[in-house]
Each structure stands twice: as structure tokens, then as C-alpha cells.
Amino acid sequence: MAYFSIRPSLISYLVLVFLLFAATSSASKVVDVNVICNQAQDPSLCSSILNSKPGGTKGADLISLAQYTIDVARVKANDTINLINMLIANSDSDSKGKNHYKACLTNFNKDEGALKDIDYVQELLKNEDYFGISAAARAINIDIDDCITGYDTKDTPYDDKSKLPQHADIVEKVVDIILIISTYLIQN
């Protein structure tokens, strides 16, 4: 008789343990860095960024990888803004270039560009809104593409010989890593 009276509570205990595990596993889910980076536009850049995470990536959960990548994206976007400001300051004799760089500043700045959306992605991560992160990451890369392709001046694209296209491309590739991580967070 004792066996039958214990059984329901044992089952509910196991269910409770399972639910607790399910609730915590999405945040602490671990995906190997190589698995993430194999899907990246630039796998070797992806590996070198994620492997530079302080404390290493062995056993690092998705949230901490996402957080680190957001921090890297913020620094790279800020560096790009600093470069654009320098290019604007140095293009007084090149009005077409100046217009192009000003448009790029809008694509990147903290008011309406990539840097603003990177801060938004940070908030979404805190709120565990992983679909939102995926959508925001795509929007950021559309903004950055507009700068690289000179969408603003598409009738006569500006032939940008500065380092800006490479810098912008790196920010895109970092945001691409955030996008990949978000797909794993959504799956959990």
C-alpha cells in the first residue's frame, strides 16, 4: 500500500524537476562555437571573435555568447562612427563623398542607426525576446548595407576608397553572429 501512496508524489516530483530543468535550460543552453561559426558569413572572423571572450567559450551558454557579441558589435559600430566623422571632416573638397558619409552616419548613429539598434538588441536580450533580436539584427544589416552600397546615392554610387566599406562589413559580420545565436535561443 505504501508503494501506491508514494507513487503520485514521486511522479509530480519528477514532473516538477523536469519543468524546472526546462525553464532553466534555455538560458543555460550550450552550443559549440564551431557549430555557430560554421554558419557564419565569415567563419574564421566568427571564431576569433567568440574565442576572444574573457573566460573562454568552453561551456559558455548562449546568453553569455550573445552578450559578448553585442558588446563587440557596439565597440565596432562606435569605431565605425568615429571613422565616418573623420571622413566627413576631411571631405570638404568632395561634396559627393561628404553626402555619402553623412548618409552613412545616419545608418550607424545612436539616434536612428545601427548603434541605436544594437542598444535595442541589448534590451531585447534582457527581456528574453529572441524573435525580436533576430528581427532587429536583420534590420541593422539592412541599414549597414545601405551605407556600403550607397543606397542613398544609388543613381551614381559613390566609389568609396576609404576604409569605411571594410569597417562596415565587419560590423555586419558581427551582427550576423548575433543573428545565428538568436536562432538557437529561439529553438530552446
Ligand X SMILES: *[C@@H]1O[C@H](CO)[C@@H](O)[C@H](O)[C@H]1NC(C)=O
Q: Report the residue from 39, 78, 91, 109 that binds ligand X according to the rule CB under 6 A.
A: 78
Contact indicator for 73, 178 with CB cutoff of 8 Å: yes
CA distance 114 to 137: 9
| Residue number, 63 or 72, with CB nearest to ligand X | 72
Burial class (CB in 10 A: 0-12, 13-18, 19+), 110: middle
Comparing every residue's Cβ against ligand X, the nearest one is 78
Q: Residue count at the site for ligand X (CB under 6 A)?
A: 4
Q: Taking the complex as a whole, how short is the minimal distance between the CB of residue 143 and ligand X, in angstroms? A: 18
Q: Taking the complex as a whole, how short is the minimal distance between the CB of residue 156 and ligand X, in angstroms? A: 32
Q: Report the residue from 73, 74, 100, 133 that binds ligand X according to the rule CB under 6 A.
A: 74
Contact indicator for 121, 137 with CB cutoff of 8 Å: yes
Contact indicator for 91, 105 with CB cutoff of 8 Å: no
The answer to the question of residue 183 lying near ligand X (CB under 6 A) is no
The answer to the question of residue 20 lying near ligand X (CB under 6 A) is no
Q: Taking the complex as a whole, how short is the minimal distance between the CB of residue 183 and ligand X, in angstroms? A: 27
> Which stretch in 24-32, 72-80, 124-132, 146-154 sits in contact with ligand X by CB under 6 A?
72-80
The answer to the question of residue 82 lying near ligand X (CB under 6 A) is yes
Contacts of 145 (CB under 8 A, 6+ apart): 151, 172
Helix (H, G, I), strand (E, B) or coil at 30: strand
R_g over Cα of the chain: 22
The answer to the question of residue 109 lying near ligand X (CB under 6 A) is no
Q: Taking the complex as a whole, how short is the minimal distance between the CB of residue 31 and ligand X, in angstroms? A: 28
CA distance 106 to 146: 10
Q: Give me the residues that bind ligand X (CB under 6 A), please.
A: 74-75, 78, 82
